[in-house]
Amino acid sequence: MNPRLVAASLVLNVFLIGALAGGAGWLIGKSNPGFSLESAGGRLPAADRKIFRQALREVRRQSRDVILDGQAARREAANLLQQPTLDTNALAAALARARNADVTVRTRLEQSIIEFAASGSPQDRQLLADALLRRAGKQPPAKKTP
């Protein structure tokens, strides 16, 4: 056998194994949702989960213009960053528009979740609380006062 073919085959196999391992890792990461109030909805009983998701979907539908404005602001910021001369004032304004859009949508989503929690069962609220606690992480140890 030609040594060059063996070496090429070895290199190709190493790359293929790496690609498969990387792809598998990416897929596994995708299947592990974050611990947010929104993702906690997936742990609710079926009927409550449907109501929860419909409420969030409605907020997003009603916030479509705000979401699109935030996306446009991010594209504008990216475009400004690519210019030969950086206009810092325009960049700051574009980023502020994107941030304001994000905060507006988040506030609307959170209000919808509050309304859901207010009408939900204690078990549903516990699921939402657990999601918040996981998201917040472990409580840091109390500082010792001298």
Per residue in 25-39, pLDDT (tens digit) is: 555 554 444 446 677
Spatial CA neighbour of 63 closest among 114, 111, 131, 120 = 111
The confidence score (pLDDT) of residue 25 equals 57
CA distances from 32 to 25, 52, 103, 138 (A): 11, 20, 25, 19
User: pTM for this one?
Assistant: 0.66
How far apart are the C-alpha atoms of 105 and 107, rounded to whole Å? Answer: 5
Q: Where are the domains of the chain?
A: 36-130
Per-residue pLDDT reduced to its tens digit, 56-65: 999 999 999 9
49 neighbors 42 (Cβ within 8 angstroms): yes
**Residue ranges of the chain with per-residue pLDDT less than 70:** 1, 5-16, 18-37, 135, 137-141, 145-146
The confidence score (pLDDT) of residue 15 equals 60
Q: Which helix or strand (DSSP H or E) is residue 143 part of?
A: none
